[in-house]
Amino acid sequence: MSDTSLLKLYDLEGYLFDTVRQRFHKQGFLSAFDFFCIVIWKANRAKSKIAQRLLARSASKSLDIPIKELTSGLYQRVTGKDRFLYLIFDWGFYLPMASAIMTVLYPDEFTVYDTRVCGLLNDFYTIGNTRKPEKLWKGYEEYREAVIRATPEGLSLRNRDRFLWAKSFAQQLETDLETCFSRENNGEE
């Protein structure tokens, strides 16, 4: 990666939605680098476990091979539902990560499943617990519709995600300021 390209990574979300998404649709797969940028954006703490799970599926010691297989398979699927269920049931991704991958690659169809948003919606905490594809897809569709209903009109699906995340963040910070962060402090500095 060139020095000027490295600056794009500072705004990881911008890099994902402007560069990675376009590259995926142009070449029909992702590199390990681009794929793990998505993983890190959603949950940095999960990268090692996901890497180990992907390596266990391949005779290769490189992540490039299983990720190319995964993402080219994703690209070949025709419907959003098929892509979504492919990530979860064929590759073992959990709902939050699968929804993040799908949101980056198909932002007009998918929204990130997030516990902060579940808190604002006061619902959907357990939809990822089912192992029944139809039930999971139905629950995710209901979640996506609730996200749309809970946000101002005229926003893209991606901006609806951002809006709800920011609303949850602001509410949490206001509560923390009112309590002088006492729940986090626990008498320690």
Please report the DSSP string for 142-167 in residue order: HHHHHHHHTS-TT--HHHHHHHHHHH
Residue 189: per-residue pLDDT: 47
φ, ψ dihedrals at 57, nearest 5°: -90, -5
**Structure confidence at residue 188 (pLDDT):** 46
Task: Provide, rounded to the nearest whole percent, the portion of the chain with pLDDT above 90.
Answer: 88
Angle between helices 47-56 and 32-43 in degrees, nearest 10: 140
Same domain as 134, residue 99: no
User: 187 lies in which domain range?
Assistant: 113-189
Number of separate domains in the chain: 2
Q: Which residue has tokens 């490295």? A: 6
For residue 3, name the pLDDT band (cuts at 50, 70, 90). Answer: low
Burial class from Cβ neighbours inside 10 Å (0-12, 13-18, 19+) for residue 186 reads exposed
Last residue of a domain, one of 106, 129, 164: 106
Task: Decide which of 106, 138, 153 is a domain's last residue.
Answer: 106
Q: Is the pLDDT of residue 29 over 90?
A: yes
Q: What is the mean pLDDT of residues 75-88?
A: 98
Residue 186 pLDDT more than 70?
A: no
Query: pLDDT at residue 111 above 90?
Result: yes
